[in-house]
Structure 1
């Protein structure tokens, strides 16, 4: 009984902070009880009380990021003469190629949608028939920890909710944020260049709805508690179908107040804290990851005091690592690494260097100069990539996102393409896999997929360049060919992951310390939580062989050391070790 009272008191506090002045005490209590019932939280079971600062992850965790139809089987490629549900094909691919090295999968929005490759959701409660059904989702969750998107900021202008909003009917009545052309929206932070307000005709006359991303993606109004209730029902549905991780999409924009920037507002953080309380009490082994593609300092705030997100995207890593490998200098990457606070127990960094979106440049602002960001964008265009821009407050255009397949982004350095594409690509992943945190690996990085120009032409969208759709039979043929780039990438990435998962020093919360080995060698030291294992991760980020003094790494002479990647013994008598262009070493003590 005491646990139930404490929990309801905590939820009431969240709700009072969010809806201060909007709901009475009676309404708040009724809403909190409704949310507890929706989530089916067992308030009688004291054992379900959440353990503070518990790490629900280990070095064995790796998350594959993929669309439900990144791999398809058409009737020309299977003996059944029918198109197979892509989710079944994905499950087959995971079982055949990933089971030994990758234990988690993020299936990007798999719901009916109208645009933005799934992020303009028409119906949150059903699986897109073109992909499969809930049984297919649940089947994947039986063998992989399943990460799902909660597209919480907006939904499709073609959804039933928005249709009902126009008709002033429920559910949907009052669900969407309205403003007027006379309101002061000059300070609103925008990730897009389209007009913020969309004029619509409703049963009550002309209105203007808020569209942070596009006019097909209309923002919810969380001042209406019915919107919160609807989202909590969706969370429960996803839990029932196997979800273990929730990605809160575009969460930074959730709460709006006219006259402000409408990003990272205090009530947005309070909504995250409320969802954390509900989810961890309903399913204590479930993880929340916030997707906040914003400058680094703002991004860090979504950890809260280990009471908001369990994990945050390490958005600054992709542009900084890309800049490092193109310029042959790790100065900025080292400086950023040294400034990053260790994630306290109960939280972790979600590391990635490629995803379904492009490489965001806003998280590099303040870390790279404007000239360096423009130089990075220029290099990507020379390598066949696209550059998406945004408007600043003074009306200027700035690069917002680099759209390019990662393997093409690393085909050369600032002087142009060279013969080190594969080595540079593997170096990037060796660096990322060893870092403090949990790695997220985009399926097209795992497969070494190159730029898809045909898809860009077909969709007219820059992001389509890195959203190729493989025919399964063609993919298998490539992966079976030992001379294929795709075979080499999959094989060597899998080897890195296989080594990573057995090293205690690669626990997401193990100690990390940045090494000072000059501009051309990037290094860091990891130590296991029990302080038994040490790993020195060093990478040559240039195309010149680097000679490294063992004394600069400071290996303890009483220990035996070995490079985990080559099994080469590093003995005390060696004065130097050589790193070939873009070679990495994971030097571990024997214990």
Structure 2
């Protein structure tokens, strides 16, 4: 018999706040969330997703139309163009903000007036699963809470984490080169606030339980407005203790469990996603025992996949894939190749050698990319991420430079992502094949702006209707591949996956549906040369009828071979899933 909600919550709170009255704190949290203390939990290990789930990542104002609020324009674009393509939409922070394109939130409970209103958000949530950011680690230095911190009044007086320059902070893991502590003048003198990311993004103090209660209220409002997917931004840095790395601490993991417990008891179909741009082994810990994140970002996939395609060698990608544990039921991976941020380099730690990392960086720089740095404990600056549009990142190879295979290479990357265990997420600029935006970088002074451009809807529609334009070619072919994927039970996010051994120029894996009624062999030529695949090497069952889902080509001679052009992919299926080839 499951433990009552309140008792379970108290047990978690006691780990984080051992000196507090956790029974009373649990009552406050349950009251804020409007949950009965004995509310029944959702079914254990429940998959709130299937093979039809595809996520679109976008800013509220990426697509614009004159005289219309961007959230309304976004809804129009989604319903007119992507209703049969994506099931969920991650709208990056749509709140009032002071910097970092939304991730320096001034008011968690308001919609940026320039974007639209809560009514506009709810309309999108009515047609798509809605993911929103819970920017939980830090808040804007221009927020009302921080103004109250300066004035030494509530709410806000004790909401931000303070540091002491005399403390030993040498072990703190940093994602930036900016100072960790920022001095601020308050009504009772100078204080030093902790700033993991920038002086405008001041870290919150979850050692104060009132901050946790505030976030329970924020979560409740998001749920009421239709949010069902919660992305916990920069959550790895949540709990701080001087003298430690201040990342991945036990209290952080326990707080994630607490938030998940509250969210899923309120809305059983809701899911929690942790954003932890860290080395692969550290990232995997955020599944917990299927009681922390429902989804974790597959942060090692983007750099490894891009490295594979520009080198023509899949050794590291294959080794990584073989090392990845199957996600427990009720959890899965969120697969992506590009996002609003750059290509993270920390997730390659232990996966690429230093000279290989540098070669990747050099190649991306030759294709117009930029590099952002972080400061290590010994004071050195190391590459943190590569800032580049994915379209440009795949314009050529490390050895030969730009070539004529950019489109094929770009599509190959997404064909691989679509077939992997997990839920695929498409950054809108990848779905549209948007190029590096140098003008935006110059205008903002921020390297990440290179991949945060904006489209006027009329211009975008014109480009997508032009069959000779690469934007149109990318958009329509990706939509076609997505449609095929959504009809295959072997591509359920939790379906079985095994890595195939086909050499270094062919990257392959096998997927089998959970009912074992469909198998798909996913084979990809990741090189710029023609490759032969001996069908005997992949052991197709002779009594089944096999077809390539992508091209519709039937496989008649199982003793023969197939020829793959540079960057061509095949999804060989026995079609017993009962949903056809999708072509």
Give the TM interval when normalised to the shorter protein: over 0.9
2:560 is matched with which residue: 561, 571, 575? Answer: 575
2:351 is matched with which residue: 350, 364, 367? Answer: 367
The separation in 1 between residues aligned to 2:82 and 2:247, in whole angstroms, is 38
The separation in 1 between residues aligned to 2:543 and 2:335, in whole angstroms, is 33
2:28 is matched with which residue: 17, 20, 34? Answer: 34
Give the match for residue 19 of structure 1: 17
- 2:206 is aligned with 1:212: no
Change (3 A) 1:122 1:535: same
- What do the CA deviations read for 1:203-254 (whole angstroms, capped 9, x no partner)? 1111100000000000001010010000110000000000010000000000
Give the match for residue 349 of structure 1: 333
Q: Which runs of 5+ in 2 are unaligned?
A: 577-583
- 2:484 is aligned with 1:484: no
The separation in 1 between residues aligned to 2:487 and 2:575, in whole angstroms, is 13
The separation in 2 between residues aligned to 1:240 and 1:119, in whole angstroms, is 22
Q: 1:457-496 alignment to 2 at 5 Å?
A: 457-496=442-481
The separation in 2 between residues aligned to 1:227 and 1:375, in whole angstroms, is 44
The separation in 1 between residues aligned to 2:516 and 2:157, in whole angstroms, is 57
The separation in 2 between residues aligned to 1:581 and 1:531, in whole angstroms, is 32
In 1, are the aligned partners of 2:57 and 2:426 still within 8 Å (CA)? yes
The separation in 1 between residues aligned to 2:517 and 2:37, in whole angstroms, is 41
- 2:45 is aligned with 1:53: yes
Q: 1:136-535 alignment to 2 at 5 Å?
A: 136-414=120-398, 415-535=400-520
Give the match for residue 116 of structure 2: 132
Give the match for residue 537 of structure 1: 522
**Over the residues paired in the alignment, what is the CA RMSD in angstroms?**
1.0
Secondary structure in 2 aligned to 1:390?
A: strand
Give the match for residue 66 of structure 1: 58
Q: Quote how far apart the aligned CAs of 1:397 are.
A: 2.2
Q: Quote how far apart the aligned CAs of 1:49 are.
A: 2.5
Secondary structure in 1 aligned to 2:49?
A: coil
Secondary structure in 2 aligned to 1:20?
A: coil
In 2, are the aligned partners of 1:319 and 1:364 still within 8 Å (CA)? yes
2:6 is matched with which residue: 8, 23, 26? Answer: 8
Secondary structure in 2 aligned to 1:514?
A: strand
- What do the CA deviations read for 1:296-337 (whole angstroms, capped 9, x no partner)? 000000000000000100000000000000000000000000
Name the count of aligned residue pairs: 575
The separation in 2 between residues aligned to 1:479 and 1:54, in whole angstroms, is 39
- What do the CA deviations read for 1:570-589 (whole angstroms, capped 9, x no partner)? 12355110000000000000
The separation in 2 between residues aligned to 1:255 and 1:312, in whole angstroms, is 19
The separation in 1 between residues aligned to 2:163 and 2:37, in whole angstroms, is 40
Secondary structure in 1 aligned to 2:498?
A: strand
Give the match for residue 105 of structure 2: 121
In 1, are the aligned partners of 2:94 and 2:111 still within 8 Å (CA)? yes
- What do the CA deviations read for 1:404-447 (whole angstroms, capped 9, x no partner)? 00010000001200000000000000000000000010000010
In 1, are the aligned partners of 2:290 and 2:330 still within 8 Å (CA)? yes
The separation in 2 between residues aligned to 1:85 and 1:529, in whole angstroms, is 43
The separation in 1 between residues aligned to 2:444 and 2:240, in whole angstroms, is 31
In 2, are the aligned partners of 1:68 and 1:107 still within 8 Å (CA)? yes
Q: Which runs of 5+ in 1 are unaligned?
A: 75-82
Question: 49-58 or 241-250: which moved more?
Answer: 49-58
Give the match for residue 561 of structure 1: 546
- What do the CA deviations read for 1:127-161 (whole angstroms, capped 9, x no partner)? 00010000000000010000000000000000000
Give the match for residue 579 of structure 2: none
In 2, are the aligned partners of 1:42 and 1:282 still within 8 Å (CA)? no
The separation in 2 between residues aligned to 1:252 and 1:286, in whole angstroms, is 21
Q: Quote how far apart the aligned CAs of 1:42 are.
A: 4.0
Q: 1:39-118 alignment to 2 at 5 Å?
A: 39-43=33-37, 48-74=40-66, 83-118=67-102
In 1, are the aligned partners of 2:5 and 2:41 still within 8 Å (CA)? no
Secondary structure in 1 aligned to 2:165?
A: coil
Q: Quote how far apart the aligned CAs of 1:44 are.
A: 6.0
Q: Quote how far apart the aligned CAs of 1:96 are.
A: 1.2
